[in-house]
């Protein structure tokens, strides 16, 4: 019986060579936009102490309650594959005393994350995010700049049908009063709510705005609105963010019912959707999280950031893959002299491909043409080399590897 084939786990996927180019293009744009604005790259571990997420993301969220890949290691520590990047970055900010650096600290990342979600188009169990976090300032310009940088990345990548929704959650203090009001309202209409929402009225009443259940949605149209309850200083902050987005000519819709599935947000909240995506329409989102650093044991430090899903960007973007690297030299011939020529040419910075499949002389020519090689070196075991210009077919006899490399370099700089 044949050995059964294995498949990648459900909700994961392979990035095949033909898909690598568009991901590279995405990374190049994100890097240019973010590093151009002074953001520096950060990488944190793929797994963290489970407590980081229960404390940081929030014990009552879907992410912590049902979506984490949590396991005990051989030393009996509870670890979790990171479901998101903001809590780990704040952990790193505190651990490395980054509050002593000039503030705000501006960090960006492109990394894989893990959530046990129902897999479907645009929703995976291992997915990638580009993200940016600005830690150490409560200036409304931080929020508006963060939003405008994500806007710039999505626009440059040709993401279609974008809408930006904007809201404000106020501070935990103002939210507490509102929460009591909303909880009372939900209890009063309990019989029309979905079971899931009902079960979490006291735990997380705001999530009711997120429900798909028709009865719940109907109830929510009459629910009290958080933005009406904002404290004057939170409202002023929100107005300042809006004024900057207006000045930058970034279109948005204020959505007082916007909620996100993470507990660390305060004040500004935003989400970009694309109507090319279907059910999983959120391309990216984020907001302000002024209490998170302190919750993780650091000094009180305001911060704001976002993350965008790489797969969802690629699904909703025009495809503009990067051109392949030019092959300067294809080395035909399989002996030591051929191998030495390839090594010397690579040391000189040329893009070189070797014949690796034992093709016939004719087959080698064909392969060189398929690769679009600019030159083909026909190498004799004696070390003598005939360098053929792939375009004209002209052959140049050369005494050895150094002469051949010099010849190609000279042509390159003409
Ligand atoms: P999030 O909204 O949970 O926020 O995720 C951000 C983006 O990641 C989503 O808009 C979506 O594009 C993508 N995403 C999330 N889950 C999946 C999935 N299962 N499959 C594919 N893509 C997915 C955060 O993670 C926050 N850390 C954002 C943030 C940064 N807030 C402040 N700073």
C-alpha span between 341 and 299 (Å, rounded): 59
C-alpha span between 80 and 77 (Å, rounded): 10
213-235 pLDDT, tens per residue? 999 999 999 999 988 889 999 99
Q: Which residue minimizes the CA distance to atom 11 of ligand 1? A: 309
Q: Tell me which residue of 103, 121, 128 sits closest to 293, measured CA to CA.
A: 103
C-alpha span between 184 and 167 (Å, rounded): 23
CA of 376 to the centre of ligand 1 (A): 48
C-alpha span between 285 and 12 (Å, rounded): 22
Beta pairing partners, 305: 133, 287
Q: Is the pLDDT of residue 414 over 70?
A: no
**Is pLDDT larger for residue 112 or for residue 383?**
112
252-263 pLDDT, tens per residue? 999 988 988 899
For 356, the 3-state DSSP assignment is coil
Span of 160-174, 293-307, 317-331, 397-411 with lowest mean pLDDT: 317-331
- Average pLDDT of 93-99? 98
Q: Among 10, 12, 66, 84, which residue has the most ligand 1 atoms within 8 Å of its CB, making it the best to mutate?
A: 84
CA of 58 to the centre of ligand 1 (A): 15
Q: What angle do CA 305, 307, 312 make, to 5 degrees?
A: 155
What pLDDT is attached to residue 172?
Answer: 84
C-alpha span between 286 and 270 (Å, rounded): 6
What pLDDT is attached to residue 381?
Answer: 82
Average pLDDT, the chain: 93
Q: State how beta strands 395-398 and 329-332 pair.
A: unpaired
3-42 pLDDT, tens per residue? 999 999 999 999 999 888 889 989 999 999 999 999 999 9
For 380, the 3-state DSSP assignment is coil
CA of 306 to the centre of ligand 1 (A): 8
Record the pTM. 0.89
268 neighbors 287 (Cβ within 8 angstroms): yes
46-72 pLDDT, tens per residue? 999 999 999 999 998 899 999 999 999
Q: For residue 211, name the pLDDT band (cuts at 50, 70, 90).
A: confident
Q: Is the pLDDT of residue 242 over 70?
A: yes
What residues contact 192, with CB distance under 8 A and at least 6 apart?
215, 216, 218, 219
- Which run of H or of E encompasses 132? strand 126-135
The share of the chain scoring above pLDDT 70, in percent, equals 98
57 neighbors 264 (Cβ within 8 angstroms): yes
Give the residue carrying structure tokens 């405008």: 148
Q: Which residue minimizes the CA distance to atom 21 of ligand 1? A: 123
CA of 112 to the centre of ligand 1 (A): 11
DSSP state of 252: -
- Average pLDDT of 372-381? 92
Q: Among 309, 310, 311, 313, which residue has the most ligand 1 atoms within 8 Å of its CB, making it the best to mutate?
A: 309
294 neighbors 301 (Cβ within 8 angstroms): yes
Q: State how beta strands 329-332 and 375-379 pair.
A: parallel
Q: Tell me which residue of 52, 40, 156 sits closest to 108, measured CA to CA.
A: 40
DSSP state of 254: E
- Average pLDDT of 265-274? 96
């Amino acid at each position: 019986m044949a050995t059964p084939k294995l498949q990648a786990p459900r909700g994961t996927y392979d990035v095949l060579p033909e898909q690598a180019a568009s991901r590279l293009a995405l990374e190049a744009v994100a890097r240019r936009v973010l590093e151009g604005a002074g953001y520096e790259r950060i990488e944190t571990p793929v797994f963290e102490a489970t407590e980081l997420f229960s404390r940081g993301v929030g014990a009552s969220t879907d992410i912590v309650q049902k979506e984490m890949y949590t396991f005990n290691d051989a030393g009996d520590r509870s670890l979790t594959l990171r479901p998101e990047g903001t809590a780990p970055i704040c952990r790193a900010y505190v651990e490395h005393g980054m509050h002593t650096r000039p503030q705000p600290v501006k960090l960006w990342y492109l990394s894989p994350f893990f959530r046990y979600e129902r897999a479907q188009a645009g929703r995976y169990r291992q997915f990638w995010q580009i993200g940016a976090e600005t830690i150490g300032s409560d200036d409304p310009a931080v929020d508006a700049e963060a939003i405008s940088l994500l806007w710039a990345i999505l626009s440059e990548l040709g993401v279609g049908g974008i809408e930006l929704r904007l809201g404000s959650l106020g501070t935990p203090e103002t939210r507490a009063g509102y929460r009591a009001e909303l909880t009372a309202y939900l209890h009063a209409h309990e019989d029309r709510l979905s079971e899931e929402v009902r079960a979490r009225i006291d735990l997380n009443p705001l999530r009711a705005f997120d429900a798909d259940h028709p009865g719940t949605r109907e109830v929510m149209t009459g629910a009290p609105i958080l933005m009406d309850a904002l404290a004057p200083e939170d409202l002023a902050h929100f107005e300042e963010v809006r004024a900057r987005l207006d000045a930058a000519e970034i279109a948005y819709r204020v959505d007082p019912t916007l909620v996100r599935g993470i507990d660390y947000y305060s004040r500004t909240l935003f989400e970009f959707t694309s109507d090319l995506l279907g059910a999983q329409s959120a391309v990216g989102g984020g907001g302000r999280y002024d209490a998170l650093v302190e919750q993780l044991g650091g000094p009180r430090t305001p911060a704001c950031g976002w993350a965008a899903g790489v797969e969802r960007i690629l699904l909703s973007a025009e495809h503009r893959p990067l051109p392949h690297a030019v092959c300067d030299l294809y080395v035909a011939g399989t002996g030591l002299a051929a191998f030495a020529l390839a090594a010397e040419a690579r040391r000189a910075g040329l893009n070189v491909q070797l014949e690796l499949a034992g093709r016939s002389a004719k087959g080698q020519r064909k392969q060189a043409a398929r690769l679009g090689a600019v030159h083909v070196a026909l190498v004799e075991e004696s070390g003598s080399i005939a360098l053929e210009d792939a375009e004209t077919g002209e052959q140049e006899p050369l005494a050895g590897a150094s002469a051949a490399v010099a010849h190609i370099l000279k042509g390159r700089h003409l």
